[in-house]
Structure 1
């Protein structure tokens, strides 16, 4: 039975909605920023607490580090994304020249790529011919399936820089909050440890959830790395002071 030219066997397919996570680059930037933001200022504050610095000094140094770290991390994200975009453009220009100068070789590469997916010559032949008639689609196909490169978003570099910097600031303020309200550094550091470890556990859990790994395991690993970093900084400060 068919309704309006659509068979009943096709209806389940038309009503099916696929759910895929497509914000991987943004999440990656957030992970980079928050991870460093939680651990680096935390380790700095713990180290200064081990050196018996006052809460005001620790807070001042911590805020300065957060500002400098956000600028540095944001710049690093911008340069990394810009390098990826430049690399894509270079490879695209080279591939475009090859399509113009050696079209037969490039067409043979299309056939080879499609054959790796189990297609026979009589099956991929029409696809090769169709792509050869459409230079733009041909170029996009070669970039994606031969070189494994995805075209970057035009604003990717700026968005990456802003996302990483903002995530670093958000993460960096967490371990410093106790020093804003507790004037005695040795008491503030204990609160900072608890607050930061909770934040690391929560962040690690969320990270694991979005990245497809085990959330609990990710939470424990993230908290463990942060604890090691702060313990090392605290111990070094105590040794230097002694």
Structure 2
């Protein structure tokens, strides 16, 4: 090699002018950063710094077919870029599980009504001690009976669901595709889904049903209860779902304790007075106040209250039911005693 040869010098990098990016265009990550970023995580001189990345999907861009469903929002033009999921109604109350509310209402309403009616009837006899003994005996027996009744009711509901699930699954597997499409159309048609889309839903669900039925027994038990045409027909066609085992015990405890707590209130005045008639007056006042409060709370947690009139009606209707039961019991006992 000649000594006069010019030594090799690397060419200097000439920075290219950055291309203006349209406002609101999402930046997708293809494994490389935009611009002149290297594969090791460095970025170009866009001010983002080492290893910084922009969100894969923005909350307010124009949705594209590649945008995940959870990130789609066609109201991107709203002021501030607020997603629809962040919008709240004026009355955004947190409701309690309707099953729990149902059990609490059953227990408390019966506890406030039945012991109160019994003590009102026994008050016509004039002895406060007799009212207390009879009320406590009825309260304990009633709480146990109500709890067992709640358990047996939930158990019967679970057994009914399992019976229907077994027969529905067998019917789905032996029926033709046309029959299943007809049943799905009967469920989805009344709510505005056309026949074409209903048939597609039926085909997809039937494929899942057949695929899970061919798996092992363990996988079938795991998945067939939650997916497939059988689950669809039971949940949306029959309107029933399987009752968990813990739900039976929760229902028994909730109803029994609700009855016990509600039944103590009408009995409290009789512990502090010797006259049954005087105890009845204080018991009626105390129970009436509690019934009004209970009716208002029940209206709120169930979402039935639409303005102050809804709350007033919920409280007054609960009071009327308890008062009518107590008046009937008192009148019948007084009538029998007179005879």
CA gap 1:103/1:39 in 2 versus in 1, 3 angstroms: same
Q: 1:146 corresponds to which residue?
A: 237
Q: Aligned-residue CA RMSD in angstroms? A: 2.1
Match of 2:117 in 1: 43
Q: Distance in 2 between matches of 1:126 and 1:19?
A: 37
Gaps of 5+ in 2: 1-23, 27-55, 62-72, 74-81, 210-223
Gapped regions of structure 1 (runs ≥ 5): none
Contact 1:178–1:192 (Cα < 8 Å) also in 2:
yes
Question: Contact conserved, 1:107 with 1:132, CA < 8 A, in 2?
Answer: no
Normalising by structure 1, report the TM-score. 0.90
Residue 186 of structure 1: aligned partner: 277
| Structure-2 separation of matches of 1:71 and 1:187 | 30
CA contact (8 A) 2:155 2:248 kept: yes
**How many Å separate the matches in 2 of 1:46 and 1:5?**
67
Give distance in 2, aligned partners of 1:132 and 1:150: 19
Greater helix fraction, Structure 1 or Structure 2: 1
Computing the radius of gyration from Cα coordinates, the structure with the larger value is 2
Higher relative contact order (CA 8 A, sep 6+): 1
1:94 to 2:164 alignment: no
CA deviations on 1:197-233 (whole Å, 9 max, x unpaired) are 0011111111122231422111111111211211222
Cα pair 1:74 1:165 within 8 Å, conserved: yes
* In 1, Cα distance between equivalents of 2:121 and 2:329: 5
- What CA distance in whole angstroms lies between the structure 1 residues aligned with 2:130 and 2:109? 24
The two structures have a TM-score, normalised by structure 2, of 0.66
Aligned to 1:221: 317
Q: Distance in 1 between matches of 2:283 and 2:96?
A: 35
Partner residue in 2 for 1:85:
158
1:92 positional shift: 0.4
Paired residues for 1:1-242 under 5 Å: 1-3=24-26, 4-8=56-60, 10=73, 11-16=82-87, 21=95, 23-53=97-127, 55-104=128-177, 105-135=179-209, 136=224, 137=227, 138-211=229-302, 212-213=304-305, 214-242=310-338
Comparing 166-175 with 155-164, which one deviates more in the overlay? 155-164
